[in-house]
């Protein structure tokens, strides 16, 4: 029986700039950075060491992959980051240059705001209200 999602794949143009954005601007932790051959790496980041799901960066090494960098969900929210302080994280991330689409707002399920990563993928920052 399937029990959880272990990794999500995110196409990136460059490993270093993706690591920098996700660790410095979003506050994620670098979980792994292992080199395999001349231009192959297993790079994962997660919100915290005890996260059950991590993001695997895959370098866009073909024209087909490069076309999808920044648009893996075709302009829809690609994934949701859950927080216990949406407004505080918004202020911290905004001060580091993260582009948001508006300000955190109260919604029936909590407080949320949409932002984009360094490539334009839309992500949702959500603080659940206990529903």
Q: Are 103 and 125 in a shared domain?
A: yes
Task: Note whether residue 44 is domain-resident.
Answer: yes
Q: Pick the more confident residue, 122 or 3.
A: 122
* Residue 35 bridge partners (DSSP): 41
Give the separation between CA 1 and CA 118, rounded to whole angstroms: 36
Q: Are 96 and 128 in a shared domain?
A: yes
Q: What is the pLDDT of residue 75?
A: 87
Q: Are 76 and 54 in a shared domain?
A: no
Q: Are 78 and 109 in a shared domain?
A: yes
Q: Is the pLDDT of residue 10 over 90?
A: yes
Domain of residue 88, CATH code: 3.10.180.10
Query: pLDDT digits over 70-93, tens only?
Result: 998 998 999 999 999 999 999 999
Q: Is the pLDDT of residue 122 over 70?
A: yes
Q: Is the pLDDT of residue 130 over 80?
A: no
Q: Is the pLDDT of residue 94 over 80?
A: yes
pTM as predicted: 0.92
Average pLDDT score, the chain? 94
Q: Which of 60, 78, 101 is the last residue of a domain?
A: 60
Task: Note whether residue 65 is domain-resident.
Answer: no
Task: Determine contact, residues 13/69, Cβ cutoff 8 Å.
Answer: yes
Q: Are 130 and 78 in a shared domain?
A: yes
Q: Which domain holds residue 126?
A: 70-131
Residues 34-49 have a mean pLDDT of 91
Q: Are 48 and 76 in a shared domain?
A: no
Q: Are 54 and 77 in a shared domain?
A: no
Residues 18-38 have a mean pLDDT of 95
Q: Are 131 and 76 in a shared domain?
A: yes
Q: What is the pLDDT of residue 39?
A: 75
Q: How many helices (H) and strands (E) does the chain have?
A: 3, 8
Task: Determine contact, residues 57/7, Cβ cutoff 8 Å.
Answer: no
State the pLDDT confidence band at 38, using cuts at 50, 70 and 90: confident
Close Cβ partners of 26 (under 8 Å, ≥ 6 residues apart)? 47, 81, 93, 98
Q: What is the pLDDT of residue 40?
A: 83
Count structural domains, the chain: 2
């Amino acid at each position: 029986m399937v029990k959880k999602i272990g990794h999500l794949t995110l196409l990136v143009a460059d490993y270093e700039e993706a690591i920098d954005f996700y660790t410095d601007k979003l506050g994620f932790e670098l979980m792994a950075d292992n080199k395999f051959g001349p231009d192959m790496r297993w790079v994962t980041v997660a919100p915290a060491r005890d996260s059950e799901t991590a993001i695997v960066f895959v370098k866009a090494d073909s024209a087909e992959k490069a076309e999808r960098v920044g648009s893996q969900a075709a302009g829809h929210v690609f994934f949701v980051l859950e927080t216990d302080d949406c407004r505080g994280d918004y202020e911290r991330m905004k001060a580091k240059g993260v582009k948001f689409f508006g300000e955190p707002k109260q919604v029936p399920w909590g407080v949320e705001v949409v932002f984009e990563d360094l490539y334009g993928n839309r992500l949702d920052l959500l603080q659940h209200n206990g529903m």
